[in-house]
Structure 1
Amino acid sequence: MSEEMNLQENQEFREGNLVKGTVAQVEEKAVTVTIEGAPFDGIIPISELSSLHIEKASDAVSIGDELNLIITKVEDDNFVLSKRKVDAAEAWDSLEQKFKSGEIIEAEVKDVVKGGLVVDLGLRGFVPASLVEDHFVESFDDYKGKVLTFLIVEMEKEKNRLILSHRAVVEAQKESNKKNVLDHIHAGDELTGTVQRIASFGAFVDLGGVDGLVHISQLSHEHVEQVSDVIQEGQQIKVKVLSVDRDSERISLSIKDTLPGPWEGIEDKAPRGSVQTGTIKRLVSYGAFVEVFPGIEGLVHISQIAHSHIGTPHEVLKEGQEVQVKVLEVNKQDKRLSLSIKDLLEKENEYSGSDYQMPEETKGFSISDVIGDKLKDFK
């Protein structure tokens, strides 16, 4: 505060002097104060009560309040005083220190105006809309009356300009949280997160301040066409940490590794001797791979396709065809399932001519039950 604004021991009542006044009368647009030792009272115009716009004087002061004031004009039998200038001068000194040190300030939003927010820090502080949050805000109407934290990002005393940012505080807090989370996450950890964003190649999951990526291949043990078929934005999910790259702040996650594998309990789902319905996924020279459960394929060796000799599986089977198979062997440890089509066919029921022929009743299975679609011709 400037020297001319210091109280003198021998009080004088001249323009620029600081005085103490007691509110004696509050009118709509002005306040009357008594000044100890002064020959007459003083008037504070409503515009000099606060750095913010107020509709009536009673919004700022009440009768009996003691105020620090500065004399702005001496008139006949009257002083014109300002509370606003004293508050501002005191505030600038304090705020300059906070600006230099990067101290976080807490203040109430006093008003919402075009382009941003207004706060009272002893002088008018302005928060541009772009510096309120780190995301788009449709309307700031409900911000009035909120207490927020701010950093001073710009101040010019000569222009009475004070620019604040809540966004800077939010971003700094998020960065601190991110570092803390990264320091405490390790490969193999199982965590709960929230799906933040879905992309064609996977999903980004918030782990409490930092995002990790679940690649589409890590969503399920089954093949996934679209990420949104499995999870949705906002959904809470359990994930396993595959890897952490702290330098690039990348975390690879898996949902699949938190789920029971498709081979879990296979002995109960497909016990030896049971009959299963499946789909032929691949044909190879030595047999056919049949998917009997999602993610579970078993091999029908070429010798287990028909009672009669065939050169290749392609002669009688086709990919995508639905067939019934008998489980010959289950090996959970090696993830192997040995299957047979032949064991469900009567020996006399061979592939002949252009169609696969079968009696109406044989072991309780119809043509569609056992082999599905018509098989390819072979000779």
Structure 2
Amino acid sequence: MTQVDNPKNIPSQGGATIRTAGSTTGFSPLDDQVDPQEYAHLLDLYDSSFRNIAEGEVVKGTVLKVTPSEVIVDVGYKSEGIIPVDEFLDETGQITVQPGDIVDVLLERTEDREGYVVLSREKAEKMKIWDEVEKAYAERKVVIGRVIERIKGGLAVDIGVRAFLPGSQIDVRPVRNLDALRGQELRMRVIKVNKKRGNIVLSRKVLLEEENAEKKKHTLDTLAEGKVLRGVVKNITDYGAFIDLGGIDGLLHITDMSWGRVSHPSELFQVNQEIDVIVLKYDPATERVSLGHKQLHQDPWSNVIERYPVGARLTGKVVSLTDYGAFVELEPGVEGLIHVSEFDDSHQKGKVDKLDLQVGETYQMKIIKLIPSERKIGLSIRALKNDEFRADWEAYTETAGRPEVTLGDHFKHQQ
């Protein structure tokens, strides 16, 4: 390394400075003991001892010293480069180098008008990144970037340098809320690069399509009716949910979601939720897949005879009112009907609300009919009240000892 007399910090292009001035070789033409020709020869040897590096080249240098404001780097040339410490700070503001570290720097100019070297670590990093981007483009490699912000037409992404991800290239399906992607890391592929103009265009959609094609092939090879699969809810509609099985979507219809009553699929599932489904039907020609979820659980009607025998008294919740009666849920998946004629003895034709039944309320009733094969259960409030009246009547006549007593006498006695 050269000796430095009266070092100076000289501004350079690219934000870096160099420390030089007064370099000495240890020889002088004024020295009577040194022949001038020999001195010139020694100078040539001295100059040739430095590295042969060209402007615009990224070279490796050794960090000699780190100060609060600058980093001094030796690149094996005549002078030591001084680079602002800002170029060596991480996201938290901490200095990332120390003396002895090897770093890449860009040699912008070997000499300016004063004979100083111009170095830049920041530009060296960007050049390396551009080289990597061009390589990724040529070799179709995956790049990983962080979404910076939403801009016109898409997203700005940081992959070491700023790049553009068009809205149409974000996903295989349209993405409505681009702001929700801010800060996320995405895997993408470079689909266009122009180093001269500083343009990089990315695509996540292309990568997803390629990955989905591989997943789809594997899924189709193993897909069969009756097979239980784990999928992800991708979209919810009024009539069902689309489930991603791995490169191919299947439809889970609302009627196959639960044995119970379901008003809307969103009551049971959410987008991006993982669920187990069973393949009900698969058409290889159209690649359409029908899925079921309730089929993974026992049908509540399978043993309804044991649990709901005719004559049993129970409590049920009214879930729907019609002109001909009220539908009552006995348990999820098992419903019965109270016909208007079974409301009570005072019921009038066409007066469904005679008893003021309310949807969502529970009532006492009696099972008067059961047809498991048709999934029908007949319920009655009138029959339950008749039983109660009959029980009261029998209790009264036994106590009074007068079988000839009338029903009016019974009510008179209760009052």
TM-score clears 0.5: yes
Q: In the alignment, what sits opposite 2:101?
A: 65
Q: 1:49 to 1:163 in 2, by over 3 A?
A: farther
Q: 1:187 to 1:106 in 2, by over 3 A?
A: same
- Could you tell me whether the CA contact under 8 Å between 2:193 and 2:199 is conserved in 1? yes
Q: In the alignment, what sits opposite 1:43?
A: 81
1:74 equivalent in alignment to 2:115: no
Q: 1:213 to 1:72 in 2, by over 3 A?
A: same
Q: In the alignment, what sits opposite 1:266?
A: 304
Note the 1:353-364 alignment, pairs <5 A. Answer: 361-362=389-390
Q: In the alignment, what sits opposite 1:212?
A: 250
Q: 1:202 to 1:20 in 2, by over 3 A?
A: closer
Q: 1:101 to 1:186 in 2, by over 3 A?
A: same
Letter in 1 for 2:270: E
Could you tell me which of 166, 174, 198 is aligned with 1:160?
198
Counterparts of 1:30 and 1:340 in 2: how far apart (Å)? Answer: 89
1:117 equivalent in alignment to 2:150: no
- Could you tell me whether the CA contact under 8 Å between 2:212 and 2:246 is conserved in 1? no
Counterparts of 2:91 and 2:265 in 1: how far apart (Å)? Answer: 52
Deviation at residue 129 of structure 1 after TM alignment:
7.7
Q: 1:155 to 1:196 in 2, by over 3 A?
A: closer
- Could you tell me whether the CA contact under 8 Å between 2:62 and 2:73 is conserved in 1? yes
Gaps of 5+ in 1: 1-7, 306-315, 346-357, 367-379
Whichever structure has more helix as a proportion of its residues is 2
- Could you tell me whether the CA contact under 8 Å between 2:336 and 2:379 is conserved in 1? no
Letter in 1 for 2:142: I
Letter in 1 for 2:72: T
Q: 1:21 to 1:274 in 2, by over 3 A?
A: closer
Q: In the alignment, what sits opposite 2:409?
A: none
Deviation at residue 102 of structure 1 after TM alignment:
1.0
Describe the superposition over 1:108-154 as per-residue Cα deviations: whole angstroms up to 9, x where unpaired.
x5x9467423232xxx34254848954435366655xx6x5432222
Q: Which has the larger radius of gyration?
A: 2
Deviation at residue 99 of structure 1 after TM alignment:
0.8
Deviation at residue 77 of structure 1 after TM alignment:
4.5
Letter in 1 for 2:141: E
Deviation at residue 260 of structure 1 after TM alignment:
3.1
Deviation at residue 193 of structure 1 after TM alignment:
4.6
Q: In the alignment, what sits opposite 1:353?
A: none
Q: 1:317 to 1:192 in 2, by over 3 A?
A: farther
Q: In the alignment, what sits opposite 2:4?
A: none
Q: 1:169 to 1:125 in 2, by over 3 A?
A: farther
- Could you tell me whether the CA contact under 8 Å between 1:281 and 1:291 is conserved in 2? no
Deviation at residue 318 of structure 1 after TM alignment:
7.2
Counterparts of 1:46 and 1:259 in 2: how far apart (Å)? Answer: 68
1:150 equivalent in alignment to 2:188: yes
Describe the superposition over 1:149-170 as per-residue Cα deviations: whole angstroms up to 9, x where unpaired.
4322221122233344456545
- Could you tell me whether the CA contact under 8 Å between 1:239 and 1:254 is conserved in 2? yes
Gaps of 5+ in 2: 1-47, 343-347, 356-364, 395-415
How many residue pairs are counted as aligned between the two chains?
314
Match of 2:218, SS?
helix
Letter in 2 for 1:239: V
Match of 2:119, SS?
strand
Counterparts of 1:17 and 1:272 in 2: how far apart (Å)? Answer: 93
Counterparts of 1:208 and 1:202 in 2: how far apart (Å)? Answer: 19
Match of 2:255, SS?
helix
Letter in 2 for 1:126: A
Q: In the alignment, what sits opposite 1:198?
A: 236
Could you tell me which of 67, 72, 75 is aligned with 1:32?
72
Deviation at residue 240 of structure 1 after TM alignment:
2.6
Match of 2:268, SS?
coil
* TM-score after normalising by structure 2: 0.53
Match of 1:212, SS?
strand
Q: 1:174 to 1:257 in 2, by over 3 A?
A: same
Counterparts of 2:130 and 2:366 in 1: how far apart (Å)? Answer: 85
Letter in 1 for 2:179: E
Q: In the alignment, what sits opposite 1:253?
A: 291
Q: 1:142 to 1:69 in 2, by over 3 A?
A: closer
- Could you tell me whether the CA contact under 8 Å between 2:150 and 2:179 is conserved in 1? no
Is the deviation greater in 41-50 or in 199-208? 41-50
